[in-house]
């Protein structure tokens, strides 16, 4: 098992131990803590995602952003594992998709729609002291981050995690990119040693 696979397995096992009630409470706190991220508080367009299973909950945050008039873009997984985007119009407009995901049922905005986001909230399993994010391994968000870099877009990149998922070090590969901040129920942590 590769270094990333072993760490992923450990983290997913720990998440599986969370009760539904603990996950629900953490989601509420996480939504409040996200307000401490200044870039998110002032953003007009945010790319986010709908949490599933025991992922740190995003639904309260999505509704909070939408109620503030923020254009929230959610990913739509394509057959090639790349991400198209559609606007979040409320929980009642989400539909079940492949791999147990939830996606908006509205018009697809294209792969480059994410370039308009001032903040991109990324799913992950862990982040380390350097801001390196460990994702689930599908590569979808690696493509998004490469697209942003190629276009010269500079949104704030933040990952939403549980407190114990901020680690000293996560395995990384040459294509991995660091994030600017992590939001946990315990607060916001910024990374100053983020490579351009």
Has residue 196 been placed in a domain? Answer: no
Instruction: Determine if residue 124 is labeled as part of a ligand binding site.
Output: no
137 labeled part of a ligand binding site: yes
User: Does 134 carry a binding-site annotation?
Assistant: yes
Q: Is residue 186 in a domain?
A: yes
**Has 108 been labeled as part of a binding site?**
no
50 known ligand binder:
yes
What are the two backbone dihedrals, phi and then psi, of residue 45, each rounded to the nearest 5 degrees?
A: -135, 130
SS3 state at 143: helix
Confidence of residue 173 (pLDDT cuts 50, 70, 90): confident
Range of the domain at 184: 3-190
How many domains are there within the chain? 1
Model confidence at 196, pLDDT cuts 50, 70, 90, reads very low
Of 176, 172, 179, 173, nearest in space to 193 by CA = 179
pLDDT at residue 194 greater than cutoff 70:
no
Does residue 55 fall inside a structural domain?
yes
In a domain, 195, yes or no: no
Strands in 166-167's sheet, in edge-to-edge order, are: 133-134, 126-128, 166-167
Does the annotation list 97 as a binding residue?
no
Check residue 74 and give its pLDDT. Answer: 98
Evaluate whether residue 45 is within a structural domain. yes
| Distances in whole angstroms, Cα of residue 125 to Cα of each of 50, 63, 112, 134 | 15, 23, 25, 6
Whether residue 25 is annotated as binding a ligand: the answer is: no
Mean pLDDT of 161-185: 93
Token couple for 39: 């870039």
Is 5 one of the annotated binding-site residues?
A: yes
Q: Of residues 1 and 103, which shows the higher confidence score? A: 103
- Residue 98 in tokens: 């492949």
- Distance (Å, whole) CA 13 – CA 162: 14
Among 27-36, 66-75, 136-145, top mean pLDDT goes to 66-75
- To the question of whether residue 158 is assigned a binding role by annotation, the answer is no
CA distance 122 to 182: 10
User: pTM of the predicted model, to two decimals?
Assistant: 0.93
State the pLDDT at residue 1.
47
Q: How confident is the model at residue 167 (pLDDT cuts 50, 70, 90)?
A: very high
3-class DSSP state for residue 103? strand
The torsion angle over the Cα atoms of residues 21, 7, 176 and 129, rounded to 10 degrees, is 70
Distance from chain centroid for Cα 24: 17
Q: Is the pLDDT of residue 99 over 90?
A: no
Q: Residue 80 has which token pair?
A: 């090639």
Q: Which residues of 166-184 are buried (b: 16+ CB within 10 A; e: fewer)?
A: bbeebbbeeeebbbbbbbb
35 lies in some domain: yes
Query: What's the CATH number where 28 sits?
Result: 3.40.50.10420
Query: What distance in Å separates the CA atoms of residue 193 and residue 178, rounded to the nearest whole number?
Result: 9
- Read off the pLDDT of each residue in 148-173 and give the average, rounded to a whole number: 95
């Amino acid at each position: 098992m590769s270094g990333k696979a072993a760490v992923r397995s450990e983290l997913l096992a720990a998440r599986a131990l969370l009760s539904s009630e603990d996950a629900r409470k953490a989601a509420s706190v996480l939504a409040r803590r996200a307000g401490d991220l200044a870039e998110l508080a002032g953003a007009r367009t945010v790319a986010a995602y709908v949490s599933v299973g025991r992922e740190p909950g995003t639904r309260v945050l999505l509704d909070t952003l939408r109620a503030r008039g923020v254009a929230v873009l959610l990913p739509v997984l394509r057959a090639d594992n790349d991400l198209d985007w559609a606007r979040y119009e409320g929980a009642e407009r989400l539909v079940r998709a492949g791999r147990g995901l939830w996606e908006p049922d509205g018009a697809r905005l294209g792969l480059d729609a994410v370039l308009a986001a001032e903040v991109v909230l990324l799913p992950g399993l862990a982040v380390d002291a350097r801001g390196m994010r460990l994702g689930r391994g599908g590569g979808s968000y690696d493509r998004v981050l490469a697209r942003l870099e190629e276009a010269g877009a500079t949104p704030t990149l933040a990952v939403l995690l549980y407190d114990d998922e901020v680690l000293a070090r996560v395995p990384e590969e040459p294509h991995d990119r660091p994030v600017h901040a992590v939001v946990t129920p315990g607060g916001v942590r910024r990374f100053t040693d983020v490579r351009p």
